[in-house]
Amino acid sequence: MFEVIEDDVKEYDLLHPCCRKEMYEFFYHNEENHSNCLDNINTNMREERPIIHPLNVFMNTQINSDGSISVEKPLSRAGDRLVLKVLMNVRIGISACSVSESKCNGEKCTAIKVIVEDS
């Protein structure tokens, strides 16, 4: 589907589904309607998928020697880039993850910049 043209970080996660409202309630006891990637993508793509398995770009997930999985502080820095060449027709949903309660996004959420070019 894609060809990687440039990749500054080379760290991704394919294990975790999109964050969702229930995750914030369970792990962080945030009972408010916390913004989340599942709702962001479903809303903007006009879909109602119950679960989405994304490519979590720059997410630093570690598999530990005891078999546990931990999410660590990102290795990415401001300005790091992932450049992909799309090789077929695709429909892509993108969400800047709103987890500020853990190491996932370095405990603070920042904007992402997405550029789509037609060649």
Closest CA to 95 of 16, 19, 10, 15: 19
Residues near 70 by Cβ (< 8 Å), separated by ≥ 6? Answer: 61, 62, 64
Least spacing, CB of residue 91 vs Zn ion, in Å: 19
Determine which residue in the list 19, 41, 57, 59 makes contact with Zn ion, applying CB under 5 A.
19
Whichever of 63 and 112 has its CB closer to Zn ion, that residue is 112
71 binds Zn ion per the rule CB under 5 A: no
23 binds Zn ion per the rule CB under 5 A: no
Cβ count within 10 A of residue 5:
10
Give the per-residue contact string, 76-105, with Zn ion (x = CB under 5 A; - = no). Answer: ---------------------x--------
3 has which bridge partners? 85
38 binds Zn ion per the rule CB under 5 A: no
Q: Among all chains, which residue has been given the structure tokens 């991704």? A: 12
* Alpha-helical segments (H) within 47-105: none
Determine which residue in the list 23, 37, 59, 71 makes contact with Zn ion, applying CB under 5 A.
37
Q: Which stretch binds Zn ion (CB under 5 A): 14-22, 27-35, 48-56, 57-65?
A: 14-22
Closest CA to 42 of 56, 54, 30: 54
Q: Which residues bind Zn ion (CB under 5 A)?
A: 19, 37, 97
